[in-house]
Structure 1
Amino acid sequence: MYYWFINSLSWVFPCFNISDDDNFGTLKKDSKQRRFSLLAIRLGGLIFYFCSYGYWRGQPEQINLHSKGFKLFYSLRLSKYGNLSDSEIERLKTNHATFLNAHPETDKRIVYKETLMYKLDELKEKKNKSFNKLLAYLAVFAFLIPLLIPPVLNFKDIFDKPLFMMLSYLTLSLYLVYFLINFATLFFESVKVKTYSRFSYRSIKESTVPEETFLNGLYIEYQLRNNESTNEVSFILNIEKYIRASLIASVLLISIHILFTFSEINPKNIGISDKSAQVLHLKLDESPRTLLNNQKDELQTIEDDLLKNRIKRILLIRSGTSSIENYIRIVNLIQSYNVNSIEIVEIIDKPHPLSQEGHLQIVIERR
């Protein structure tokens, strides 16, 4: 639980970070190559450390893969983990050639060749499963986009909300953008075409010992593909972390957006019971002439008060969705006199016994 908390905290609060260089920043109980940093920023397959100090737990001579001591700036790259260098590949070739020379029997080499080809097929199947999992995460990413459109469209309205809600909304929005950028960066980096072929048909054809050349090629191909498979798993695990973090941030952001919306349409928050409020009742199913004539004096008063900035807010509560033409006429009439840009809230209510279909309530809150 302690290590889970430390790793989770590093995603939310990047300052005073404790991580493990050998596990791409993920701290474990048996972590040896640890690093303490004042600031750690993750960007896809990169981690940037500022003012960090690397230290080890265990024997120093066994741990020499990463730089230790104080570093003003230090970085880790995910793609560098587990990659085979040219020297390591040459060492594998030499050791494998020695192994083949010690086992010249034809029947053993045939079994060995079939085993290598079977293992290569296994790695291919594993790669396909990893790619399908990656596509599933991409589908989750695509699912998030339409859910986040309403909060994005209403982003400008958050500055009119209470300070705590505004800061929560802004913080979650920044975290969500940060997580999605990291997810996209890792995704595109993971699907890059990688070349690792170390032997060709021509090299086998021209070789004086084609059988050994072919077996050596299969063995190196297996080592490289196995290494690539390990890297893909690392990418998938990191992508999974960003997807989970994005889902959590999205749920919280959408919840705050719903809370914003509720606070806007809740009559208790709008204050329609105030003594300075006036309520007009209109039947939208009447003809336009009758509709305007029946409330001519009241509408004229609203127009005058709008021009003189005497109105604080107007609430339009419409029952049902019928008679939309008359409703638009009323809205346009009010908007045409709204020269002082007062707040106009529009609500669509379900018809009920006290408010039939086509009924419009205009609630005017004066200053």
Structure 2
Amino acid sequence: MNRFAIAGAVAVSLAAATGRPGPPPPRGVRLIDLSWVQAEPLLDVSAIVVFPLGAGAIEHGQHLKLNADQRLANYLTSRVLLAAQVVVAPALTYHFYPAFVEYPGSTSLSLATARSLTVEAVRSIARSGPRRFYVLNTSLSTVQPLQQAADALVADGVLLQFTDIDAKLAAAARRIQQQPGGTHADEIETSMMLYIDAASVDMTKAVRDYNPPPSATGPFTRRRGAPGTYSPTGAFGDPTLATPEKGRELVETLVAGILDDLQRLRTAPLPAAMPALAPRPQSGARSSAAESESGWPDCSPGDERAIRNIGVAFTTHWANNDAERIARLWMKDGDIRHPDGTIERGVQIIRENRAQLFMQRAYQGTKHPVTL
């Protein structure tokens, strides 16, 4: 029997017991439905492990539930289970959603934490054997930490891919949308929810919200005149134009795109794992005759002073919450390698990540000494 036939056999047995034809048996399985003994043979190098990612609580206007993204992720996962031989891991319901934190009930992790959460969740399952992972992603802001996580996992010989929901829906959205623009709880998102879970939508509370016009950028805010995108309702677009028929076209397009991603992932070449770094020499050991008197190999006293000054500068700029000056300490294509294996590559990413941290009250006025 195929190792993915466990869930299918159960479905067939239930149908036989009731005398009624049941739904088609799923081709995939959920880890939460298995014991570790049942999971072990499924989690080999040929497996594709899917992590559903949908916010458990971020605002979606006055007409949609806080967990609209989670509902969408759950629906899409159910469709994937029916069509693809995958192992579905428990869902990720907290991630990077900084644009909505001003609205009560909305949750978000920092970019660095969202990245690390993804990396560590994948690594925990990769220990059992799988090397191909897919995040069934339902948001736009999560793409940045997901890409950073994918970059970090390459060194482990792990291939992580994820849904680019904007790219998947772009063509269908252009065909059907009537609103002049929108990005959140709008005609597009509301149509999708009407199709997959109409009972969770209250169209009597749907309001057209363009304050200011569709060219606005920045985090959403309920405070008129504050920086960002002013939205008293939490929506940005025209959800009053939404219909379940539009939602059907959008959702079916998205399902087809996700299944295509999974098929491509199944045959995609795996990255070569990087060898572990050699252990550092014991303190006091001399690696070469060229080592300087201070213990820095191949380094003149002047070079050493310049290097140590970088640490002083970093510490100073951090205390001043100066993301721009911190980023300038790196070359254009330089990177930061964190202890968990994640990598921030490039000056722009380093600048954006520090700026995101410094916006949080917990990091304001903190010190981060660096010793080189």
For the pair shown, the structure with the greater C-alpha radius of gyration is 1
TM over 0.5: no
Q: Could you say which TM-score interval applies, normalised by the shorter chain? A: under 0.3
Q: TM-score, normalised by structure 1?
A: 0.22
Kindly indicate which of the two structures has a greater share of residues assigned to strand. 1
Kindly indicate which of the two structures has a greater share of residues assigned to helix. 1
